[in-house]
Structure 1
Amino acid sequence: MADVDLFLLIARHLAAGGNPADELLAFKALPEEKAQIVENRLRVLDRCVGDGASLSTAIDTAAVSLGSSQRQVYRLLARLREFGPVKGLTPGTYRTERPKVARDGLDPAAEEVLASRLRENPRASQASLEAAVVARCTELGLPAPTQYSVRQRVLQLRASGQAPSSATFGSRLALDQTAININITVGEGKSLPSIVTLLMDEGLGLIIGASLTSSPRMQDFGLLIARANAASTVIPELRKFEITIAGGLGHLTWVASPFLEHLVPLAEAKARSAKNKARLKIVSEGSKRHGSEIMRIIGDRLGPYILSPRQSFRSEPRPVEDPGVDYEEASKRLDLAVESWNRKRLQTLGISPAALSAVRDRRMWRVLKEFEGLLEPVHQAIEAEQFAARDQLDPNAEPPDF
């Protein structure tokens, strides 16, 4: 089914407040087998319920077409109306939904503590948030929610873009990577789970740059592509909004991957000599560090995709029995997910589109330039290493263009 046809079909059956572009993105994120089931169910329900026949006749017809009971069709129709096409019609969705307490919220006292602490420090650690909730509930003589409930609620707040914000762009940035369930094709019927590298603004919770790679050994490419993505795709869009921007980059947290650890001293030396004196925090030790900043800033979801921090990025992932998608398509899906995330986040913050401003432009590009400046020696070393590797294979190779 062509994208336009599918887009129109999905748009006819959105849940209240749904967005057809986001729903189409979620559909494309489904495994091929589940996507076919959702499309078939949606087409059958659309045709049977919309043909003017009585509801009972439509249900009978749909049950025959789907090879299921009338009761199951009623359930599918109810879920379609409540949740929309993807969440409502995907088999097994209930097994991946968050617990009810995460979606609906904790008791008022616990919710108030979370909101207050996240306003004070949007990147507060999970342990500190759990301790604050327990202390407040104990003080009021109320039963405290479990650690699991608090953790799931915080992840929900962050992944939905509802977590409070310090509302200044560029003061604090973070660069991190984690596994994401976008599989990249590597052979006939096989694919590799990919790694997403994200450059994020801690204050607003926006994603500034993003890239995909299929191997921990390719994190050098991940870093370079995320940098290029920020300059060519994301920043040109963000500059169209009435965002309050810091006068310059104040702090960068870089979670360095194992295959870039040898370049950490270059970044540290650059930070000591940089004119703007932006603080640089490098996290290059600890097997569980990867994804830690991502979890604090945006949670464990990026649109329809699940982010899964790994214990270590030192080992190569094994191909899985899944056809996956080619790299170009995977990158497009990531770009759409980032665009959707930023749009929702800006709406949550009440930040509206605005006329272009020379001052806002200058400040935004200055933040990006200072970020690039801090990691410039790393970028140069990566390019030199890649060119040396290419030169061993082809002495006449041209320098790579990044």
Structure 2
Amino acid sequence: MISAVDLELVAKHSGGRAAFESNEATLLGLPLANQTAVLQRLRALDKYLGMPAPTSADAAALAADLGMSERNFYRLIRKFREHGPVAGLAPNFRVRQRSSAAADGLGKVAEMTLERIFETEGDARWKTVVSEVLEACKAANVEPPSTAAIRRRLLALRAEGRLRDAGERIFGGHWLLDQTAITLTTESVQGLEYVVVTLLIDRQTKLIGGVGLLRRGNPLSGVLAALVDAWSRVPEFAGASLTVATRLRDFHWVDPEDVKISGFMLDYGVTARSGRGPRRHGENIFRMIGNRLGPYTLLIRSTANPQIVDEQLATAPLPFAKAEEVVRHAVGKWNEGILQQMKIGRSRAARRERLIEILRSMTNLFLPALDASSAAILKNAERNVTNEADLPGAR
């Protein structure tokens, strides 16, 4: 486990709280061997940079401790200064995106086709996207990109959260609630395992309205945590440049494994539920935001059974509360990138009122399935926001 002393050292060389949070998130997403290498290098560089007048002999001694040449030690210092205490020191960490068709574009016909798909069906299956791009290139009599290049380009565009018509998007009417394992490690009674996150995603804007982590033994724990988190975000979204829907229109829930749910949710006429199957978890998230959540990779097929078989692939295990913290940070960074593309909607007071009504509709979908304790937690989250809305100055 990464110690508090190690994190203090990362903070010391991060240059501010926001930079530290990003550096910490990147560090926690690295495999354990790379985490260890970063911290070893950081300790050595901290010692070297703290010397009043370091000499070549000092550099050579520290380089030897790290198992590298003096020349590479000086290169490491340059990378550290340019890219920071984690990206600059992590072995094989790509600090710059290589030039490629996937990053830079696939040509006029393919790019126009991708733009049209993103505008009309942003969460289309990748096989559908590939088929339409190839057909468009054939019709235009131009050399088509490879299917692998189209897939990489699609992932890159989704990871950017790019919205061609951001100002015309309406937030809050259409939702996805799904879960996926990610490359962040914690410990449960079952042993070392990947974290499973539940994401509440607005399908129009791709904003993540709420996030929760699954606790083993309670299939609805991730759902409950995501809804509580969604209530806490009402002030943030009410103050953002958003146009908010008048009501909840549809709600697609990919329910967790082992959850026992009756047909009560379908009575509202706004909810669709996914059936069983080992590949269903996370696929919809993948189609909405790509294969990464900040520095963490989505592990779609590991969601139902996230135990880690090869511990060399694991990160240092985190306490549950810390895992929640860094995942919320990743969600915040994702939302920040999208909100920068949005234009102002109705007044703050009108946005708040609409958001409250939409979240109340969601809450009512789940209350009948929750035990008394969980229902009280969710209703308290609602009261915290609605009471705040009644305070002077809240509008």
TM-score by length of 1: 0.78
2:151 maps to 1:151: yes
1:284 and 1:311 map into 2 onto residues whose CA distance is 17
Q: Please give the secondary structure, in 1, of the residue aligned with 2:324.
A: helix
Task: Specify whether residues 144 and 319 from structure 1 end up closer, same or farther in structure 2 by C-alpha distance, changes over 3 A only.
Answer: closer
Task: Name 2:265's counterpart in structure 1.
Answer: 267
Task: Name 2:125's counterpart in structure 1.
Answer: 125
Whether the aligned pair in 2 keeps the contact of 1:184 and 1:327 (CA below 8 Å) is yes
Whether the aligned pair in 1 keeps the contact of 2:10 and 2:85 (CA below 8 Å) is no
Whether the aligned pair in 1 keeps the contact of 2:241 and 2:343 (CA below 8 Å) is yes
Whether the aligned pair in 1 keeps the contact of 2:163 and 2:205 (CA below 8 Å) is no
Out of 307, 311, 331, the residue aligned to residue 317 of structure 1 is 307
Give aligned-pair identity as a percent.
29
Q: Deviations over 1:207-236 (max 9, x none)?
A: 111111254x5321111111111112x223
2:53 and 2:136 map into 1 onto residues whose CA distance is 57
Shift of 1:54: 10
Task: Name 1:308's counterpart in structure 2.
Answer: 299
2:234 maps to 1:235: yes
Shift of 1:366: 1.5
Q: Please give the secondary structure, in 2, of the residue aligned with 1:11.
A: coil
Task: Name 2:350's counterpart in structure 1.
Answer: 359
Out of 174, 177, 181, the residue aligned to residue 176 of structure 2 is 174
2:98 and 2:293 map into 1 onto residues whose CA distance is 14
Task: Name 2:188's counterpart in structure 1.
Answer: 186
Task: Name 1:390's counterpart in structure 2.
Answer: none
TM-score by length of 2: 0.79
1:3-402 alignment, distance < 5 Å: 3=7, 5-11=9-15, 19-45=19-45, 48=48, 63-64=63-64, 66-73=66-73, 75-77=75-77, 79-80=79-80, 83-93=83-93, 100-164=100-164, 165=166, 167-186=169-188, 191-215=192-216, 218-232=218-232, 234-260=233-259, 262-269=260-267, 271-272=268-269, 279-310=270-301, 313=304, 315=305, 317=307, 321=311, 324-347=317-340, 349-350=341-342, 357-373=348-364, 375-376=365-366, 379-383=367-371, 401-402=377-378
Shift of 1:109: 3.2
Structure 2 unaligned spans of 5+: 379-395
Shift of 1:361: 0.6
Question: Structure 1 residues 333-342 or 135-144, which shifts more?
Answer: 135-144
1:85 and 1:112 map into 2 onto residues whose CA distance is 40
Task: Specify whether residues 173 and 94 from structure 1 end up closer, same or farther in structure 2 by C-alpha distance, changes over 3 A only.
Answer: same
Task: Name 1:276's counterpart in structure 2.
Answer: none
Question: Structure 1 residues 244-253 or 48-57, which shifts more?
Answer: 48-57
1:60 and 1:168 map into 2 onto residues whose CA distance is 59
1:99 and 1:218 map into 2 onto residues whose CA distance is 45
Query: How many residues matched?
Result: 368
Runs of 4+ in structure 1 over 6 Å off: 49-59
